[in-house]
Chain A
Amino acid sequence: MAEITYLEAIREALAEEMARDPQVFLIGEDIGAYGGAFKVTDGLLARFGPDRVIDTPISETGFVGAAAGAAHMGMRPVVEMQFIDFISCAYDMLTNYVATARYRAFLPCPMVVRGPSGGYVRGGPFHSQNPEAAFLHTPGLKIVYPATAEDAKGLMKAAIRDDDPVLFFEHKYLYRRIKGVMPPGDHIVPIGKARTARAGTDVSIITYAATVWKSLEAAEILAAEHGISVEVIDLRSLLPMDDEAISATVRKTNRVLIVHEDTVTGGIAGEITARINETCFEWLDAPVRRVAAHDVPLPYAPALEDFVLPQTADIVHAVRWLAAY
């Protein structure tokens, strides 16, 4: 089997699910003839036709709401945000309508909202965001954010088949840089299950998305230069979160660093820290610490963006601090 990119893995998942289930359709801006701003849906219009790859006006509230309506009727829409930064335009529809539909009105909303997320690409404040934490606080939604091509495919297929709304964050820095060989057959990665990206014994890093790769890079440096054995847990799903995997790694290494690209205050690391505190306090040999973005809007200039976002050197520094505690 040939390697394909993270981006191609998502496209493959969309195509397979569309072929499998005629209720699956795609909706979003410039996804048809143009194939999407990042070409994720390239070729799908030609293959499935305009009834299943629907170009929309610039109306995020409108097409998220329309997707919810179609989902109520048994269809399985996959909505593209051209950049995930624009999901804020549909925040009302997602949090007030979509997330509550099952609970308050017994209306299933099996839909996926996906889009390119994240920084390290000089995109400036409106093409680099990581808004996952804003939705973690909304019961009724599920959230996934894959780091590998295999997970991108397997989680997308799981998200489309899920009976509840799933926000599917894709990291645009990983789109064409990360490749993988897809497992044969109907490859599904269950929502809510973390994976061990690297096994280790001294310090655990709990992370997701692009910072998985920075953490792995740091783990290499820490092993080679400092003799520290680092375990890297890739959460993959943020809501629901894999508490068992978190607990297991804490009990194994007793020292935990949480790394994410989103800003530190109110970020998901705070929630993970609270869970560890509540369930594994006596297993800790050091305080749980966080490496995340500084609390500023993400700036455009390379020197500024590099300063704001977590870098490999920061992870190395933080793990050494934890190991020495």
Chain B
Amino acid sequence: MRLTRSLEERLVNLYRQTKVVGGLFRSLGQEACAVGSAFALERRDVMSPLIRNLGSMLVKGATPVEVLKQYMAKGDSPTRGRELNIHFGDLTDRNFVGQISHLGDMVPVLAGIALSFKLRREPRVGLVYVGDGATSTGAFHEGINFAAVQRAPLVVVVENNGYAYSTPTANQTAAESFAAKGAGYGIPGVRADGNDVLEVYGTTRTAVARARRGEGTSLLEFMTYRRKGHAEHDNQSYVPAGEGERWAAENDPLDRYAARLLGEFGCEETELATIDAAVLAEIEAATDAAEASGFPEPSEALRGVYADPAAMPSLWYRGDKRAAVDKSERAAGAWGTFDG
């Protein structure tokens, strides 16, 4: 959780220095949802994060340097500059699949991944994250319904953080809870405190174990709060005054866990300080590495659309030119960064 928060804080610095090319998405206040649930998975299990699940990816083995390079559009970023922010995955080793921007689409995809485990009799589990907003999509409904019918070993996690962009949950669903929707699909629906990392872990663990036993799909709803805007440019004008501050003061997942570590579990302050220092050192080194790496070669844009051919042809008007523009046709500062 500390790594998630500190890495995002570093990204904010880089964003302000315009080193982040596109928008920046925070998960401040939601770290326990992401981290606690991902810890319930084994390495062989496959997870699909959403935009607030940097923490889940870090638990699954994504590294800070990958995340930084990805945001900075570097040529050796996980997607080689093709995709933005945390839209990346690794299905060969660490087992997480990158999301697309179209919300809900990953639910049927993970239903299919979980189905493949069932068909091949592999004791593996799929877990897919969505926000409160994505539950309104057709893809979410079709995916979770199909997984339920197939009794696929899938855990669907709804992170209910109060807002989808500017839309409050009350405008997203008339249902009492997202967990209640489990009944409509004939699967268990469980709501838990998303800012208690141990409760998130325990709840997810139960659902994962159930899936691994072959008992099918579960729907989990974690109650949390999105303390920053949809993206860094969003000024949250639609949020009632004091709401975010109240969550920060009274229900911060890191504060809550630290209090338990120091009290219940007998940790020393110095142990936590050592962890914080190690996290900062790791981010420092990762930032240096990410800054040192270069941008992609322009003609790399043509590679990888198909397995065969390996590259698309350059169009006729380019001749043998490698770059479209020598430097840029844009006047300095005229082309802002994208914030959607």
Contacts of A29 in B (CB 8 A): 164-165, 167
In the assembled complex, the Cα of A82 lies from the Cα of B164 at a distance in Å of: 12
Given A55-B167, A294-B314, A294-B315, check contact A311 B102 (CB 8 Å): no
B237 near A: Cβ within 8 Å? yes
* A123 to B315 alpha-carbon distance, docked (Å): 22
**A313 in the interface (beta carbon within 8 A):** yes
- Would B328 and A306 count as touching, CB distance under 8 A? yes
Could you mark each residue 283-312 of chain B with 1 if its beta carbon is under 8 Å from any beta carbon of chain A, else 0? 000000000000111111110010000001
B87 located at the interface, meaning its Cβ lies under 8 Å from any Cβ of chain A in the complex: yes
**Bitwise interface map of A from 134 to 160 toward B, beta carbon under 8 Å scored 1, else 0:** 000000000000000000000000000
Give the Cβ gap from B98 to chain A, nearest Cβ, in Å.
Answer: 11
Q: Is B335 an interface residue (CB 8 A)?
A: yes
User: How many A residues, CB 8 Å from partner?
Assistant: 52
Check A306 against B166 for contact (C-beta < 8 Å).
Answer: no
Complex CA gap A306/B323 in Å reads 8
Flag whether A161 is at the interface (Cβ < 8 A): no
What's the nearest-Cβ distance from chain B to residue A146, in Å? 21
- Cβ-based interface call for A193 (8 A): no
- Those of B296-340 within 8 Å (CB) of chain A: 296-302, 305, 312, 314-319, 323-325, 328-329, 335-338, 340
In the complex, are the beta carbons of B100 and A126 less than 8 A apart? yes
B329 and A294 within 8 A (CB): no
Q: Which of A73-107 contact B (CB under 8 A)?
A: 82-83, 85-86, 88-89
| Residue numbers in B under 8 Å from A131 (CB-CB) | none
Residues of B within 8 A of A83 (CB): 101, 340
Judging by beta carbons under 8 Å apart, are B73 and A89 in contact? no
Is A302 in contact with chain B by the CB < 8 A criterion? yes
Cβ contact within 8 Å between A33 and B166: yes
Asked whether, in the complex, the Cβ of A89 is within 8 Å of the Cβ of B305, the reply is no
- The answer to whether B101 touches A303, judged by C-beta atoms less than 8 angstroms apart, is no
Whether A238 is near chain B, meaning CB under 8 Å from some CB there, is: no
Q: A89-B102, A124-B83, A127-B338 are in contact. Are A299 and B21 (CB under 8 A)?
A: no
B136 within 8 A of A: yes
Contact status A314-B324, CB under 8 Å: yes
CA distance in complex: A294, B329 (Å): 18
A55 CA to B163 CA, complexed, in Å = 13
Instruction: State whether B164 touches A58 (Cβ < 8 A).
Output: yes
Of B79, B84, B103, B167, the residue contacting A30 (CB under 8 A) is B167
Tell me, yes or no, whether B223 is within 8 Å of chain A by CB.
no
A306 and B298 form a contact (CB under 8 A) = yes
Asked whether, in the complex, the Cβ of A301 is within 8 Å of the Cβ of B73, the reply is yes
- The docked-state distance in angstroms from the alpha carbon of A9 to that of B55 is 42
Inter-chain contact A299/B317, CB cutoff 8 Å:
no
- B63 on the interface (CB 8 Å rule)? no
Q: Tell yes or no: B172 within 8 A of A by CB.
A: yes
B138 interface contact, C-beta 8 A: yes
Q: Give the residue of B22, B172, B296 whose beta carbon is less than 8 angstroms from that of A123.
A: B22
Decide: A34 and B165 in contact? CB cutoff 8 A: yes
* Interface: A37 (CB within 8 A): yes
Residues in chain B near residue A85, CB distance under 8 A:
101-102
Query: Provided the pairs A57-B167, A302-B73 are in contact, do residues A122 and B21 lie with their beta carbons within 8 angstroms?
Result: yes
Specify the chain B residue showing the minimal Cβ separation from A296. B305
Interface residues of A in 280-313 (CB under 8 A from B): 289, 291-292, 294-297, 299-309, 311-313
Contact A303 B296 (CB under 8 A): yes
Given A29-B167, A303-B81: A58 touches B296 (CB 8 Å cut-off) = no
Partner of B329, one of A30, A88, A127, A311: A311
Tell me whether B206 is interfacial, beta carbon within 8 Å: no
Q: Which 10 A-B pairs have the closest CB atoms?
A: A301-B81, A57-B136, A34-B166, A126-B101, A301-B73, A307-B298, A304-B301, A124-B84, A299-B82, A307-B301
**Chain A residues near B (Cβ < 8 Å):** 29-30, 33-34, 37, 55, 57-62, 82-83, 85-86, 88-89, 120-127, 264, 289, 291-292, 294-297, 299-309, 311-314, 317-318, 321
